[in-house]
């Protein structure tokens, strides 16, 4: 694990690490600041709202939509989500739309541009994966790291998909329905199922019949690849 950048200001304090080739992580302990830094690119990548996914949207319109959808008087995204994971292609498209002047630019957008530029100074070409976590040694980090491995390591992805396909049809359907109800879009369901099985199922996912026997299988593969990373 290599330190690439340390930033401490009134907006946010964070550390940018290279976890391994093609995997980078922003460690920021403040849940609110971390969420505001990642919300736009994360929702560009996998928003459950079609009007926002893959679109250069106004962050204030998104905040209003999220608040109304959750039937609250506040923007609860910063409480609802703790970890973030974004493939470089999606991040680049999101940032390009902002740079083109198609929406209001916030200080968090400017900071995300800076983070991207720092990564590109270190890795000028090729795809990468960016994580947003509270601590690079936390349970949140494990979950997001599973996503990163799924994206960057073909062998890991194939082995995990084989396990996902081994689930019964009924268990898979229940898991998929629950994840979509949480706010995940269909195209990331297999990835999310593998990440939760590998790093810890949440209720009621852990109550679905036939899932418990698969947990050790997923964790074994995840830990096998995690141990090869220098996270100290």
Three-state SS for the chain is: CEEEEEEECCCCEEEEEEEECCEEEEECCCHHHHHHHHHHHHHHHHCCCCCCCCCCCCHHHHHHHHHHHCCCCCCCHHHHCCCEEEEHHHHHHHHHHHHCCCCCCCHHHHHHHHHHHHHHHHCCCCCCEEEEECCCCCHHHHHHHHHHHHHHCHHHHHHHHHHHHCCCHHHHHHHHHHHHHHCCCHHHHHHHHHHHHHHCCCCCHHHCCCCCCCHHHHHHHHHHHHCCCCCC
pLDDT in tens, 108-154: 999 999 999 999 999 999 999 999 999 999 999 999 999 999 999 99
Mean pLDDT of the chain: 94
% pLDDT > 70, the chain: 100
Query: Could you state, in order of their start, the residue ranges of all structural domains in the chain?
Result: 2-141, 153-226
The predicted pLDDT at position 41 comes to 98
The predicted pLDDT at position 197 comes to 94
The predicted pLDDT at position 119 comes to 98
The predicted pLDDT at position 232 comes to 63
Residue 61 pLDDT class (50, 70, 90 cuts): very high
pLDDT in tens, 200-216: 988 888 888 888 889 99
The predicted pLDDT at position 117 comes to 97
């Amino acid at each position: 694990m290599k330190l690439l950048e340390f930033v401490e200001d009134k907006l946010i304090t964070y550390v940018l690490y290279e976890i391994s080739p093609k995997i980078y992580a922003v460690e920021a302990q403040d849940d609110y600041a971390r969420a505001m830094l990642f919300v736009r690119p994360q929702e560009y990548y996998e928003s459950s709202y079609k009007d926002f996914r893959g679109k250069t949207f106004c962050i204030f319109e998104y905040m209003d939509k999220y608040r109304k959808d959750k039937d609250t008087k506040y923007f609860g995204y910063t409480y609802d989500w703790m970890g973030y994971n974004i493939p470089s292609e999606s991040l680049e498209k999101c940032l390009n739309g902002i740079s083109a002047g198609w929406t209001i630019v916030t200080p968090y957008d400017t900071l995300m541009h800076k983070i991207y530029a720092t990564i590109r100074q270190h890795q000028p070409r090729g795809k990468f994966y960016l994580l947003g976590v509270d601590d690079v040694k936390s349970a949140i980090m494990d979950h997001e790291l599973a996503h990163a491995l799924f994206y960057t390591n073909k062998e890991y992805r194939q082995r995990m998909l084989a396990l996902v396909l081994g689930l019964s049809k009924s268990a898979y359907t229940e898991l998929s329905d629950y994840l979509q109800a949480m706010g995940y879009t269909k195209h990331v369901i297999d990835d999310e199922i593998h990440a939760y099985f590998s790093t810890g199922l949440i209720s009621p996912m852990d109550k679905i019949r036939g899932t418990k026997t698969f947990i050790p299988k997923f964790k074994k593969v995840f830990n096998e690849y995690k141990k090869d990373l220098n996270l100290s």
